[in-house]
Every structure is written in structure tokens, then in C-alpha cells.
Amino acid sequence: MLATRPYKGAHFAVFPEIIPERAILAGTSARGCCPSCGAGWVRIIEKTSEPEEHRGSRFDKGKTAVNGGGRTQEGELYKSREVGWAPGCDCEPLDPVPCVVLDPFGGSGTTGRVATRLGRRSIYVDISGDYLAKLVPGRLANVQMEMCF
């Protein structure tokens, strides 16, 4: 069961912001997208030669026994670091624009509120034009944007 969140507006099914936040972070690029085709920018990650602290356990050594797949002889994972961003397409290189989040059940604007906070744009659809006209503007009025990259 999904618990709703307290809301003073005229909507009775306001869900927690963590739900759209997880979807937005998983499905959009923090750097933005190509203004021509909409493909998200991708992080450039490189492995280092420095092992991570051990993860998991093995009774005799306190380390995992798995080798390969980015692991050291003792089964430790190598540390990785972000080195930048790259376009996720082959279009002419242009500065990225914010990704767009579609909320097909706009309601009180929870998804749009989270999208705005995370630096994304949002589009709403709702069967009730009153919800979109009356509730959403108030929910977006005081949103603080986070620096995501």
C-alpha cells in the first residue's frame, strides 16, 4: 500500500516525492539532453587502480572470493571516478538543455515539483483542468533547485 502525503489543497491522493524522484533520477540525465534529438548526456566514468574497501565477506579472509569483473585478486572492487559528461547521440555538438519529464496524471503537481527541484522541465496532463490550473502553480512557486552535477 502506498501512503499519501498531507496536502492542504483540494487533492486527495498526493504521493510522496521520493517516488517520482527515483524515477526522474533513474530515467533522465542530470547534465541535460541534446536540444536536437532529446538524447540524454551520459557520465564518463573511469576505473582507478585503487581498490575499494572490501564489500561482502568471506569467513577466512573477510573478503569476497570472486575474481574478474573489475575486481582485484582478493575480490575487492576498484574505485571509479567521474571524469565528465558526453552527448548520448551523434548530433551536432550543442550545449545540453534540461531533460523533460512527462506527468500523465498531473494532479497536484508532485512530479513537476520534483522535476523542477532536480533541474528538469515538466509537462502535465490531467483529466481535471482545475487541478492543473489551481494546484500546480502553487506547488511550483517556492521550489529550490538542487545542483545535480
Q: For 147, phi and psi rounded to 5 degrees?
A: -85, 115
Where are any strands of DSSP class E within the chain? Answer: 42-51, 78-86, 100-103, 121-124
Give the global pTM. Answer: 0.68
What's the CA gap between 96 and 87, in Å, rounded? Answer: 8
Grid cell 587502480 is found at 49
- pLDDT tens digit string along 47-97? 887 776 655 554 445 555 544 455 555 556 778 888 999 999 999 999 999
What's the CA gap between 18 and 5, in Å, rounded? Answer: 11
- pLDDT tens digit string along 109-149? 888 889 999 999 999 888 877 777 777 777 777 777 766 55
